[in-house]
Structure 1
C-alpha cells in the first residue's frame, strides 16, 4: 500500500472514530456561515445591477448558465466514478469510513440519526411540498407556488436521472435502524433535503417579516446537513454519495432561486 492510500485510510479511520464531535463542529460552522451569507445578501443583494436586459433574456441566460453548471457537475461525477473502485482513494475512504462507523457508533447514536433521516424521506418531502403549494395558492401567490413546485419536482427528477446514470451499489447495512434500496449515487435524501428546505427558507425570506429570516435559514441548513450525514452515519450511503447529493442539490437550488429572483425583480419582458 502506498503512502497516499495509507493517509486516506488513516483519515477515514480518525473521522469515523470521532464522527459525532466532527459532525457537531461542522454543523455549528455551517450555521455561522449561513448567517453571514444571509447578512451579506440582505445588505448587498438589493444593489445587484442587471442592466437593461429584459426579463426573458435574463431568464434565458440563467437557464443556460444553470444548464452549464449541471453539465459540469455531471462531468465531475463521471470523473469521480472512475475512482470509486475499492482500490482507489475515494473507494478506500468510503469503505474504511463505513467500516469504522459500523464499529464505533452506539445503538443510541444510530437511533438518533435514524430519526433525523426521516426529514429527507420522500413521503415527508412530498407532503411538505403539497402543503406549502396549497398554502401559497390560498394566499394567491401563484408565481411562488409554481416556482416552488418546479424546483422541488425538478430536483427529484434530476436525482433519479443521476442515479440511473451511475448505478452505484449501496454499502451493506444490517443494524436495523434504517433500510434503503435502489442505487446509491448521489444521495436522494440529501439532495431532496437541500432543495426542499432551501426553497422553504427562500419562501420564508420572501413572505415573512425579517425577524424570521435568520431562523428559517438556520433551520434549513441544520435540516439539510443533518439529513445528509445521517445517511452516512446509518451506513446506507457512502460519504461521496452524500457529498454529491449536496453538490447537485445546491446547484439546482441556486439555479431555481436566481431564476425566481429575476422573474420577480425585473418586470420588463
Structure 2
C-alpha cells in the first residue's frame, strides 16, 4: 500500500477486509430499500383507489421528482470531481482502498467478477440496446424505443467526453483477468449499467404486469451493483470512479425518464 495514501476510516477498512461480505450486505440493503419503497407505494395507491383518488402522480410532480434526482446526482458527481488530483484526500483514499483490495480480494472472487463485469461491457450493452429497441418496435412502442435508444446512445457519448475532461489514469492492473484501457473517471461500465438496466426497469414498470415489476427492479439494482463492485474487485477503477459513474449515469437516466414522461403525457393528452 502507498505510504502516502490517506488513512481509511475504520468502516472502510473493515469493508475492504471483508470485500465480498460488504458487497453482499450492500446488495441486501438495496433490496430491502427497494422492497420497502415498492410496498409503500402499492399501499398508498391502494388507499387512493379506495378513496377514489387518482393513484398516479401528476405530470408536474413527476417532472419535479425527475429533475430533483438528476440535479442531486449531478451535485454528487461534481463533489467527487472536485476532490480529484494528486494530493487530494479522495485520491489518496482511493489509492489506499485499492491497495487494501489487492490484498484482501481472493483470486476466486476476482475470477467470478471477471465474468460478471461483462454485463457492463459496451458490446453487451450495444447488443442489449439493439434487442430491446427491436422488441419495442415490434410491439408498437415506437416512442419508448426511441427514448431507450437515445438514453443508451447519449450515455455512450457522455461518458467518454467526461473521461477526456478529467483525464484520470487507471489503477495499475496486475492480474490480467480483464483488459481495461483508456481513462478512468468516471467508470463507463458503472454509468452504462445504471442507464441500461435502469431504463429496463422503467420499461418494466410501463409494460409488465404488476407481479413482474418488483422482480425487475431488484434484478436491475443487482446488476448495477455487481458491475460496480466488479470494477473495484478487479482493480481497473478506483472507488470514486465507480461512484462518479453511478452519479453521472443516474443524472442522465433521471433526465431521460423525465423527458420520456413528458413526451408520453403530451401524446396521451392527459396528466
TM-score bracket, normalised by the shorter chain, equals 0.7 to 0.9
In the other structure, the counterpart of 2:58 is 49
Is residue 122–residue 189 contact of structure 1 (8 Å, CA) maintained in 2? yes
Shift of 1:89: 1.7
Structure 2 alignment gaps of length 5 or more: 1-5, 46-54
Distance 1:41 1:251, change over 3 A: farther
> What is the root-mean-square deviation in Å for CA atoms of aligned residues?
2.7
Partner of 1:193 in structure 2? 193
1:12 CA drift (Å): 4.3
Cα distance change on mapping 1:62 and 1:33 into 2, 3 Å: closer
> CA contact under 8 A between 1:12 and 1:96: conserved in structure 2?
no
The Cα offsets for residues 33-61 of structure 1, whole Å up to 9 and x where unpaired, read as 1222333445558442346xxxxxx98x8
Distance 2:91 2:144 in 1: 41
Q: Which residue of 1 is the match for residue 24 of structure 2?
A: 24
**Structure 1 residue runs of 4 or more that deviate by more than 6 Å after TM superposition:** none
CA 1:36–1:11 in 2, change beyond 3 Å: closer, same or farther?
A: closer
C-alpha distance in structure 2 between counterparts of 1:66 and 1:137, whole Å: 31
In 1, are the aligned partners of 2:59 and 2:265 still within 8 Å (CA)?
Answer: no
**Per-residue CA distance 1:197-219 (angstroms, 9 max, x = gap):** 11111111211111110110000
Rounded to whole Å, the distance in 2 between the matches of 1:62 and 1:225 is 23
CA contact (8 A) 1:191 1:250 kept: yes
Quote how far apart the aligned CAs of 1:10 are: 5.1
| Structure 1 counterpart of 2:52 | none
Instruction: Name the counterpart of 1:69.
Output: 71
Q: Is the 8 A contact 1:86 1:95 kept in 2?
A: no
1:183 equivalenced with 2:183 (yes/no): yes
Asked if residue 263 in structure 1 is aligned to residue 263 in structure 2, the reply is: yes
CA distance in 1, matches of 2:90, 2:80: 8
Contact 2:191 2:250 in 1 (8 A): yes
Q: Report how far residue 62 of structure 1 moved.
A: 9.3
What is the distance in 2 between the residues matched to 1:16 and 1:222? 20
Once the two structures are superposed, the pairs formed by residues 109-128 of structure 1 within 5 Å of their partners are: 109-128=109-128
Question: What whole-Å deviation, never above 9, does each CA across 1:101-154 have from its counterpart, x for those lacking one?
Answer: 111211101001111101000000000000010011111111110111111111
**Aligned equivalents of 2:39, 2:258: Cα separation in 1:** 17
State the distance in 2 between where 1:62 and 1:38 align.
Answer: 16
Shift of 1:157: 1.4
